[in-house]
Structure 1
Amino acid sequence: MELGLIHIYCGDGKGKTTAAMGLALRAVGHNKKVLLTQFLKDNETGELNSIKKLGDNFEVFKGIPVKKFFKFMSPEEQMVTRKEHEERFREVIKKAKDKNVDLLILDEIMAAINLKLVPLDEVMEFLKNKPKGLEVVLTGRNPDKKLIDIANYVSEIKAVKHPYEQGITSRIGIEK
């Protein structure tokens, strides 16, 4: 890409990852290279199943599956998760640069930053010095003001109503 910009999809509503995947589909449709990593997820999402069918231009950099909320992990599990997320962030950044990726999606990076699994200062340093043509998408709730300030797009998805409030848990193919 000629000029890569920074996108943030944030808010308490459903659809942040979905928006990122829509942008990825558009990019792949124009023969762009996409690299995705998902923080604090279990590697068993519907979008990952679909990506396999899109060909070589859409790569997923998987981490160790996270099967429970961070706050319910033991201190040892939290330490392992923190180390893996921090290392994966560094590795995915290197891979995006080395492979001349057009679009990098850091799904749920906000939660990883807020839980101190990925250092905000490293994310900021990367964004300030990213390759000129690299488009970057960051998703999640409660982005730091520094991230909002550096971003070119900030889209907030607001929950007005959600089935979880009625006791309906995530459903395969819709929320998962």
Structure 2
Amino acid sequence: MELGLIHIYCGDGKGKTTAAMGLGIRAAGRDKKVLLTQFLKDNNTGELISIEKLGENFKVLKGEPVKKFFKFMSEEEQIHTKKEHEERFKKVISKAIKENVDLLILDEIIASINLDLVSLEEVINFLKTKPKGLEVVLTGRNPDERLVELADYVSEIKAIKHPYNQGINSRIGIEK
């Protein structure tokens, strides 16, 4: 891509990952190379099944599945998750640069930063030094103000109403 910009999809509403995936599908449809990694997720989502059907333009670097919320992990599990997330962040950046990717999607990187699983300083350094043509998407709640300042697009998805508040759990094909 000639000019790669930085996007943030944040907020407490449903749709941050969906927005990032939509952009990825759009880019892949225009023969752009897309690379995605999802932090703090279990690798069992409908969007990953769909992406696998898109072919070589949209690749996924999967991490170890995260099966429970970070706050419910043992100290050992938290340490292991932190190590895996730090290593994968470095690996996905290296892969994006080496393979001349057009769009890099770092799904739930903001949550990973907020939980100190990935270093905010490393993410900021990457964003400041990324290849000029690399478009980058970051998703998650409560982005640090320094990330917001670096971003070219910041879209907040606000929850007005959500079925979870009425006791309805996530459903296959809709929330996962």
Structure-1-length-normalised TM-score: 1.00
Unaligned stretches of 5+ in structure 2? Answer: none
Per-residue Cα deviation, 1:69-91 (whole angstroms, up to 9, x for no partner): 00000000000000000000000
In the alignment, does 2:131 pair up with 1:131?
yes
Distance in 1, Cα, partners of 2:67 & 2:117? 16
CA distance in structure 1 between the partners assigned to 2:13 and 2:84 by the alignment:
27
Q: Deviations along 1:45-78, whole A, 9 cap, x unmatched?
A: 0000001100001100000000000000000000
Q: Distance in 1 between matches of 2:146 and 2:153?
A: 13
Runs of 4+ aligned structure 1 residues displaced above 2 Å come to none
Corresponding residue for residue 52 of structure 1: 52
Match of 1:160 in 2: 160
Q: Distance in 2 between matches of 1:22 and 1:151?
A: 19
Match of 2:68 in 1: 68
Are 1:92 and 2:92 an aligned pair?
yes
Q: Does 1:142 align with 2:142?
A: yes
Percent same amino acid at aligned positions?
A: 78
Amino acid paired to 2:155: S
Task: Give the Cα–Cα distance (whole angstroms) in 2 for the partners of residues 57 and 26 of structure 1.
Answer: 11
| TM-score using structure 2 length | 1.00
Q: How far did 1:105 drift? A: 0.1
Matched residue, 2:7: 7
Aligned pairs, how many? 176
Q: Provide, for residues 93-123 of structure 1, a one-character-per-residue CA deviation record: whole Å limited to 9, x for no partner.
A: 0000000000000000011000000000000
Separation (CA, whole Å) in 2 of partners of 1:142 and 1:76? 26
* Secondary structure of 1:54 counterpart: coil
Could you tell me how far apart the structure 1 residues matched to 2:74 and 2:28 are? 40
Unaligned 5+ segments in structure 1 are: none
